[in-house]
Amino acid sequence: MALGDLGTRVVGRYIRWHDSLPSTNDLALRLAEIPVPEGTVIVAEEQTAGRGRLGRAWASPRGGVWLSVILSPGLPMDKVAVLGLAAGIAAAQAIRKTTGLLARLKWPNDVLVEGQKVVGILAEATPGADWVVVGIGINANIAPDALPVVSGHPLTSLQALLGHVVDREALIRALLRELDQGYAVLRASGISGVLRQWREMAETLGRRVHVEVAGATIHGTAFDIDGAGALLVRLDDGAVQRVVAGDVRMREAGS
Ligand code: BT5
């Protein structure tokens, strides 16, 4: 696969293609320690041990977009999550532009179309946060029966939504360009620009939610994210809970 000249400043200056890898994030984390030039991208046609958050497995059959970007944002460890938000924005924009589907964001980093997850993002820092690896997985051209069934968390692929395959090269090109732009905004104007754009594209805000946090479930209304990307939930008794890591389920009215 050849992407041609991306015209980006940082993201995608070097691209390494692999037919099959255990996990693009694992290789990128190892390469970052060498180090390799900032903006290097690792792409795999399939992953045999793709990873989600909290040690979960990520199904990565052929036909999807599985890649990791090596960045050095100079953010303190507690702000690294903002890069994950920026990646979610970039993936949603790339899907909108390439397919016309109305992709929206679910906290922290999922991209949903018609309420179903089509993108997962895993941002991981090396110790000391000198390097951050942003892993992005897009269910592009995947038959629905090649994806797991997860109760309470509907998911699908772009191919299933559209009824035809997507141009994966165009999707990757758009993704890397959008991420490059988002990264430039983050470096020039700081976190607030990323937060503003995330709020505009968010499906989670203003919604009644269940959030699973460390073995417990909290119920309330998600009303904002803070400067570190944490979700702010107003509980039913009026108190505000700040959620740094957790799984959100959005509730229908009345549930
Ligand atoms: C994520 O985790 O959503 C982050 C996924 C990041 C994947 C990319 S691909 C490139 C890079 N290399 C890697 O090894 N990883 C990154 P989380 O929110 O924890 O969601 C994981 C859960 O989603 C799993 O427990 C399953 O229930 C479900 N799941 C697994 N595979 C899926 C898929 N392809 N599409 C949608 N949901 C999936």
Q: What per-residue confidence (pLDDT) applies to 149?
A: 92
Q: Find the residues whose C-beta lies inside 6 A of ligand 1.
A: 23-25, 47, 50-54, 56, 58-60, 66-68, 117, 120-122, 135-137, 139, 147-148, 150, 155
Whose C-alpha lies nearest to ligand 1, atom 20? 52
Instruction: Identify the band that residue 152 occupies on the pLDDT scale cut at 50, 70 and 90.
Output: confident
Identify whether the C-beta of residue 137 lies closer than 8 Å to the C-beta of residue 121: yes
Instruction: Identify the helix (H) or strand (E) that includes residue 133.
Output: strand 132-138
Instruction: Specify the pTM.
Output: 0.96
* pLDDT (tens digit per residue) in 77-135: 888 999 999 999 999 999 999 999 999 999 999 999 999 999 999 999 998 879 999 99
How far, in Å, from the CA of 74 to the mean position of ligand 1?
26
* pLDDT (tens digit per residue) in 20-68: 999 999 999 999 999 899 999 999 999 999 999 989 999 999 999 999 9
| Nearest partner of 136 among 120, 125, 118, judged by Cα | 120
Across 173-246, the runs of DSSP E, i.e. the strands, are 207-213, 216-225, 231-235, 240-243
Of 42, 53, 58, 69, best ligand 1 pocket probe by most atoms within 8 Å of the beta carbon: 58
Q: For residues 205 and 201, what is the distance between their CA atoms, to the nearest angstrom?
A: 10
How far, in Å, from the CA of 190 to the mean position of ligand 1?
28
Closest ligand 1 atom to residue 155 Cα is: 36
- Residue 8, pLDDT > 60, answer yes
Instruction: Identify the band that residue 213 occupies on the pLDDT scale cut at 50, 70 and 90.
Output: confident
Whose C-alpha lies nearest to ligand 1, atom 30? 58
How far, in Å, from the CA of 85 to the mean position of ligand 1?
15
